[in-house]
Amino acid sequence: MGFVTANLISPGSIYRGSMLMLNKAAGVFYKPSRRKTYEFLRSFNFHPGQLFLHKLVLGIETSCDDTAAAVVDETGNVLGEAIHSQTEVHLKTGGIVPPVAQQLHRENIQRIVQEALSTSKVSPSELSAIATTVKPGLALSLGVGLSFSLQLVDQLKKPFIPIHHMEAHALTIRLLNKVEFPFLVLLISGGHCLLALVRGVSDFLLLGKSLDIAPGDMLDKVARRLSLVKHPECSTMSGGKAIEHLAKQGHKLHFDFKPPMQRAKNCDFSFTGLQHVIDKIITQKEKEEGIFLIGRVGKISNPGLCLKIPVCFAGIQKGQILSSAAHIAAAVQHTTACHIAKRTHRAILFCKQRDLLPQSKAVLVVSGGVASNLYIRKALEIVTNATQCTLLCPPPRLCTDNGIMIAWNGIERLRAGLGILYNTEGVRYEPKCPLGVDISKEVGEAAIKVPPLKMKI
Ligand code: KG4
Ligand code: ZN
């Protein structure tokens, strides 16, 4: 039996290429099963060129509120994928309750990993390694993924690759596009907010980060404060998505929120101040729309007596949606976009000034849950157009947490020969873990002035 490849698999393609095998006796080509293909390729003791499919990684993600798993091969083919999202449960409790998240991960992990494996049609024994998120994240959630993975690793006698969640977000783009190092990455999600230069698979320079909460967290808090879960169009959406949806019906300049940290010439971020300003506006609007007003109630029989007591008018009740909710959503989204765009603009200028990025056609990758926001993407596009950079964003399903990015990070590490463990003794999860070498102080000391850009979005 010989083999021929047809439709060569381009690196990073997520579509399966096809391989034809020659049945010498019959003198005809036929398309073998996936299993036969892998068995055949594995029978070689050498790497058959660029096309070999023989590195297969199972990725497992449980760092926050998604239980996810996927099987990905060396060329970026996604062979199987499964995900269980806890968003709906956490929407009801008004935020992630770690023990609830832990319990849901426990209930779902076996099924999700099984589903990813069975759709991939890859038998566990064929895996090259198992890659699992071990940092950073919620301790109780990370613990479930790690202990499940270690059991599996032990059972299957496979190498283990511990994964940094943010590294995985940053590298996802290389599964889809041929992006060479170095490139700039902006990671914006519910738990993280950072700007980093990616110089290699595990070689990062941290240029700036949020000094308080992440943008997704702020948007989630605003959405909760606005009770958007009670809005018929937004009831199943995450906070950030609900804000984006509602913002389309509002006017961004109706409220004038100032972008945070305008005087700090660094690449750090801050969202708590903005959240408090919005909180105050919402309280004020709730009053205006009439929860309690002081009424004037006179006793007819005694016209001289005038009492001032609270009277409840038919205004909005706590938990109801403000008439100005869409304007607030539009203004908060706009202010967030301007803040993120300005810090990113400075990071690009800094990297170019220090020759850390090429002067033209440098790549900016934006990922994380908030990167699915099209308004924020447009603001970043204005920045990349002004700086001759290329903006790349993974599709929304790869921007939010998923198992594919973890499996792909495993492939990247296997290819680079980095962090592959054959002995898992002493492996621990780390709820807090910085990404790369922190040079944010140096960035601040450079105090780069960013030229103003018209944010016509
Ligand atoms: O990356 P992710 O799935 O989880 C981590 O936080 O690591 O991101 C979830 C965050 C949530 O805060 C959610 O509100 C936000 O991403 N998000 C969005 C959008 N979709 C999800 N924020 C703004 N606009 C969106 N369309
Ligand atoms: Zn994430």
225: tokens are: 């404060």
Considering only residues 275 and 13, tell me which one the structure prediction assigns the higher pLDDT: 275
Mean pLDDT of the chain: 86
Say if CB 9 and CB 78 are below 8 A apart. Answer: no
The count of C-alpha atoms lying within 13 angstroms of the C-alpha of 249, restricted to the half-sphere facing its C-beta, is 10
Averaged pLDDT, 184-211: 96
Backbone dihedral angles phi then psi of residue 135, each to the nearest 5 degrees = -165, 160
Ligand 1: nearest atom to the Cα of 220 = 14
pLDDT in tens, 327-340: 999 999 999 999 99
Integer Cα distance of 374 and 370 in angstroms: 9
- CA dist list (Å): 85 to 88, 107, 167, 191, 319: 8, 12, 21, 16, 25
> Which pLDDT score, from 0 to 100, does residue 376 have?
97
The pLDDT of residue 28 is: 52
Beta-bridge mates of residue 407: none
CA of 208 relative to ligand 1 center, distance in Å: 19
Asked if residue 456 has pLDDT above 90, the reply is: no
The minimum-distance atom of ligand 1 relative to the CA of 191 is: 6
Report yes or no: 209 and 193 within 8 Å, Cβ to Cβ.
yes
User: Given ligand 1 and candidates 218, 220, 238, which is best to mutate, with the most ligand atoms within 8 Å of its CB?
Assistant: 238
For residue 103, how far is its CA from the centre of ligand 2 (angstroms)? 19
Tell me the C-alpha distance between 252 and 378, whole Å. 15
Is the confidence at residue 48, as pLDDT, over 70? no
26 φ, ψ (degrees, to nearest 5): -85, -20
Answer whether residue 92 shows pLDDT above 90: no
CA of 150 to the centre of ligand 2 (A): 22
* Per-residue pLDDT band at 25 (split at 50, 70, 90): very low
Task: Give the number of other Cβ atoms within 10 Å of residue 200's Cβ.
Answer: 11
- Closest ligand to residue 214's CA: 1
- What H or E segment, with its residue span, contains residue 184? strand 183-188
Q: What is the mean pLDDT of residues 374-395?
A: 97
- Is 80 exceeded by the pLDDT of residue 133? yes
Shortest-distance ligand to the CA of residue 138 = 1
Helix and strand totals (H; E) in the chain? 14, 16
pTM over 0.75: yes
Sign of CA dihedral 354, 358, 361, 362: negative
Measured CA to CA, the distance from residue 210 to residue 190 in angstroms comes to 12
Atom of ligand 1 at shortest range from CA of 372: 26
Higher pLDDT, 25 or 143: 143
Confidence band for 318, pLDDT divided at 50, 70 and 90 = low
Closest CA to 197 of 179, 215, 181: 181
pLDDT band at 44 (very low <50, low <70, confident <90, very high): very low
In the sheet that holds 129-135, the strands lie side by side as 78-85, 66-73, 56-61, 129-135, 160-164
**Residue 30's pLDDT is what?**
58
How many other β-carbons are positioned within 10 Å of the β-carbon of residue 447? 10
Q: Is the CB of 191 under 6 A from ligand 1?
A: yes
Strand (E) or helix (H) holding 280: helix 272-288
Instruction: Output the pLDDT for position 327.
Output: 97
Name the residue with the closest Cα to ligand 1, atom 20.
241
Token pair recorded at residue 143: 């613990």
Interval 164-188 mean pLDDT: 96
Cβ–ligand 1 contact at 244 (below 6 Å): yes
Radius of gyration of the CA atoms of the chain, in A = 26
Give the mean model confidence (pLDDT) for residues 400-410.
96
Distance between CA atoms of 331 and 247, rounded to whole angstroms?
Answer: 8
Instruction: Report whether pLDDT(164) > 60.
Output: yes
**Where residue 35 falls among pLDDT bands split at 50, 70, 90?**
low
Q: Are 165 and 194 in contact (CB under 8 A)?
A: no
